[in-house]
Amino acid sequence: MTTPPPMNTPAPLRSATWRSRSANQTRLAFGQALLELGQEDPSTVVISADTQDLLGIRSFAHDFPERFVELGIAEQNAIGVAAGMATTGLHPFVCAYAPFITARSMEQVRNDLAYARQRVVIGAAASGISLGVAGGTHHALEDLALMRSLPNMTVIVPADVTEAYRATLATRDLDGPVYLRLGGRVEEPPVGDLEAPFQVGRSVQLRSGGDVSIIACGALVSLGLQAAALLHGEGIEARVINMHTIKPLDRDAVLRAAGETRGIVTAEEHHLCGGLGGAVAELLALERPTYMRMIGMPDVFAVIGPTTAVREKYGMSAAGIARACRSLPGLR
């Protein structure tokens, strides 16, 4: 098995290596970042819930076998083991499927991690409807609402592999549990500056605009940029904000967008209640009431089908985002 380049390899070569192995998929970028963490910090341990291929962590198991644990399809057990390891000073990373590590092990995440404020990172792949053909049991459309509701929990939704890699490295400096929402076997195109730093709780403005603000996370950031391009052709200038951290939310960016544009459209691959749109709406309702529209899954279980087709059915598309922007007062 090919091992990753040693840490004394020049940075550009290391970057080229992990990027190519990530294949434009955030789930694989997470696994590549774990290799760097494993080399730098001997307290890094990885716990797999039958996800060695899903998150690309076979290389970590090969290089650091004494710091790798495969627990199989036992997500509740994985959280308990991670919490126990954290009490000894280790820094566990749980690798799991998003729909199962959240709903199935919610009690353990709540009590063993959040309540106890344990320093554990959950790498949750196959989020949203990235496993569209697998059906409702394998869709994770309520995970942000579940994780965001927990005190002490940090919730991050990277938009591309660069963000996923750097967000994973950023967890070294965080106290308490982290939920890192990752994609499935669907490519996530680059959306931002490859050299831009990543800061938890600080969003990234990808495009300026004074007419409307599109605030998106994860897979819908690239669609938000496409929507802004469509609107530009109609004389509507849309600001696009990549809200990669759902909790803590970048309050300043949201309030600035509300004050400087005519309205806000949120876009996420999640139910319309409890996710990014809910977080933005809660803030604005209390501090600056603003015209809003929300793009995401309505209050139904998604149909079974290819991911892109399912997204489009429910308006999670560039056209759907642009349409929501046009519907705001003053932008028709």
* Domains: count for the chain: 2
Q: What is the pLDDT of residues 91-133, one digit of tens each?
A: 999 999 999 999 999 999 999 999 999 999 999 999 999 999 9
Phi then psi dihedrals of residue 162, to 5 deg: -60, -45
Same domain, 43 and 131: yes
User: String of b and e for 112-133 (b: at least 16 CB within 10 Å)?
Assistant: bbbeeebbbbbbbbbbbbbbbe
What pLDDT sits at residue 14? 59
What pLDDT sits at residue 1? 32
Same domain, 299 and 172: no
Same domain, 93 and 124: yes
What pLDDT sits at residue 331? 79
Q: d(Cα 169, Cα 245) in Å, to the nearest integer?
A: 14
Q: Which candidate, 110, 149, 179, 143, places its Cα nearest to that of 282?
A: 149
Helix (H, G, I), strand (E, B) or coil at 18: helix
CA 203 to chain CA centroid, Å, is 13
Same domain, 103 and 66: yes
189 lies in some domain: no
193 lies in some domain: no
186 lies in some domain: no
Q: Which candidate, 288, 250, 230, 242, places its Cα nearest to that of 268?
A: 242
Q: Which candidate, 270, 297, 295, 285, places its Cα nearest to that of 128?
A: 270
Same domain, 162 and 263: no
What pLDDT sits at residue 9? 37
CA 122 to chain CA centroid, Å, is 11
60 lies in some domain: yes
Same domain, 209 and 175: no
Residues of the domain holding 140: 11-181
What pLDDT sits at residue 167? 97
Same domain, 116 and 210: no
5 lies in some domain: no
Q: In this structure, what CATH number is given to the domain that contains residue 131?
A: 3.40.50.970
Same domain, 151 and 213: no
Same domain, 222 and 278: yes
**CB neighbourhood size of 40 (10 A):** 12
pLDDT < 50: residue spans in the chain: 1-13
What pLDDT sits at residue 4? 39
Same domain, 28 and 153: yes
The dihedral formed by the CA atoms of 226, 227, 230 and 231, expressed in degrees to the nearest 10: -140
What DSSP state is assigned to residue 4? P
Same domain, 209 and 120: no
Joined tokens for residue 331: 């932008």
Residue 299 and residue 278 in contact, taking contact as beta carbons nearer than 8 Å? no
Same domain, 126 and 224: no
Q: In this structure, what CATH number is given to the domain that contains residue 306?
A: 3.40.50.920
Q: d(Cα 20, Cα 209) in Å, to the nearest integer?
A: 33
Instruction: Give the residue from 149, 181, 213 where a domain finishes.
Output: 181
199 lies in some domain: no
198 lies in some domain: no
314 lies in some domain: yes
Q: What is the pLDDT of residues 284-321, one digit of tens each?
A: 999 999 999 999 999 999 999 999 999 999 999 999 99
